[in-house]
Structure 1
Amino acid sequence: MTEQPVSLIIIDMQQGMKGSAARPRNNPDAENNIQQLLMAWRGADWPIVHVRHISRSPDSPFWPGQPGAAFQPELAPADNEHIVEKNVPDAFILSGLERWLHVRGIGRVVLVGVSTNNSVEATARTAGNLGFATLVVSDATFAFDKNDYTGVPRSADEVHAMSLANLDKEYATVMCTKDVLKQFKLQAG
């Protein structure tokens, strides 16, 4: 056990992300790794936060009431797990997440979900800046192909790797699922 509570924060694992499959992505096993971590956290009775993106654009699959806004069933929150809704990439902005963590004495967070270079990176930067000991799970996050600023096509692996490089040792520590389970002495789900 750790001396301080550790919260697992699952970012944007919604049905609409499955619809993003038209764009090439990396880490095809990310959902399985997230599920392993979720089961391990549940088994340890540790705090879990599910973040859901709710779009401000009516034509978005993440608009309230659209099927895309729903959580993926295999990663859906249990009744006792906290849900945070956000309208921007960063899960801390106007969501009450920081206060929820502080009220419970949680100073360490483990981030998983999608996409690495957007909501995961934005949330990790803020978590680190707010003083949370932040860990990003490299194989439980994923990114999509994207053109860089100069128009050069970058693969999902390149986008993912650069995003993790932006975070590691600056805002967060980056580890894989197996090492996270080992560090916290958890059993895989």
Structure 2
Amino acid sequence: MTFAPDHAALIMIDWQTGFDDWDYWGGNRNNPEAQSNAARLLAHWREKNGAVFHVIHHSTNPASPLRREKETGQIVPELAPLEGEEVMHKRENSVFVGTHLAVALRRLGINRLVISGLTTNHCVSTSTRMAGNLGFEVRLVGDACATFDRVGPDGESFPADLIHRVCLSDLHGEFCQVVRSSDLL
């Protein structure tokens, strides 16, 4: 089954400048090529006139850099939406909660999704799981996603790359197929 731009929608999750503040998020963001891979994927989708949806997080925490009224809440310039590309704001971890994304996709007759975004273990994972549960066929572009180091409840530190790879392995084959950007270009 094809996941070409004329048969699937590209969902760009939380590509906001606020994620450039690595210290705020735990430091050491993995996958330094994630944004450039996402940019190549987005350019390809646009070239083929594929459906593109940008979903950004509008945090309920006033101190968060992910607030739409803050400059840090805006989409990074490299991935900024073009006229005609829909931008949806969410307050939860899933792109499907508090948005009309599922309805918009169904109205377009789209049941295949390609997902890219930040962070792998939070909004990307939650959205991918929910997309699978809603019956969408999903390709999660692992090299167009990234996350940060985390500290567990017992104080143990976990490196971003480990979190990223474990998260992708949890999703693959259950909620989606994890692919590389080169698989879709």
TM-score, L = length of structure 1: 0.91
- Match in the other structure for 2:162: 158
Q: Separation in 1 of the partners of 2:153 and 2:109? A: 40
Shift of residue 33, structure 1, vs aligned partner: 0.2
Which residue in the other structure is 2:140 paired with?
136
Secondary structure at 1:112 match in 2: strand
Residue of structure 2 in register with 1:108 after alignment = 112
- In the aligned structure 1, how far is the partner of 2:35 from the partner of 2:111? 25
SS in 1 for 2:59: coil
1:37 maps to 41
TM-fit CA distance, 1:180: 2.0
TM-score normalised by length of structure 2:
0.93
Q: Does 1:172 align with 2:176?
A: yes
Asked if the contact 1:5–1:105 (Cα under 8 Å) also holds between the matched residues in 2, the reply is no
- Give the alignment of 1:26-105 within 5 angstroms: 26-105=30-109
How far is 1:17 from its partner? 0.9
In structure 1, the gaps of 5 or more residues are 182-189
Task: Provide structure 2 residue ranges, at least 5 long, that are not aligned to the other structure.
Answer: none
Q: Give the stretch that moved more between structures: 68-77 or 15-24.
A: 15-24
Answer yes or no: is the 8 Å Cα contact 2:3–2:112 preserved in 1: no
- CA distance in 2 between counterparts of 1:142 and 1:9 reads 15
Whole-Å separation in 1 of the counterparts to 2:3 and 2:167: 28
User: What is the number of equivalent residue pairs in this alignment?
Assistant: 181
Identity of aligned residues (%): 35
Going from structure 1 to structure 2, the CA distance change for 1:73 and 1:80 (only over 3 Å counts) comes to: same
What is the aligned partner in structure 2 of residue 120 from structure 1? 124
- State the distance in 1 between where 2:71 and 2:39 align: 21
SS in structure 2 of the partner of residue 85 of structure 1: strand
* C-alpha separation in 2, matches of 1:106 and 1:117: 25
Give me the CA root mean square deviation: 1.5
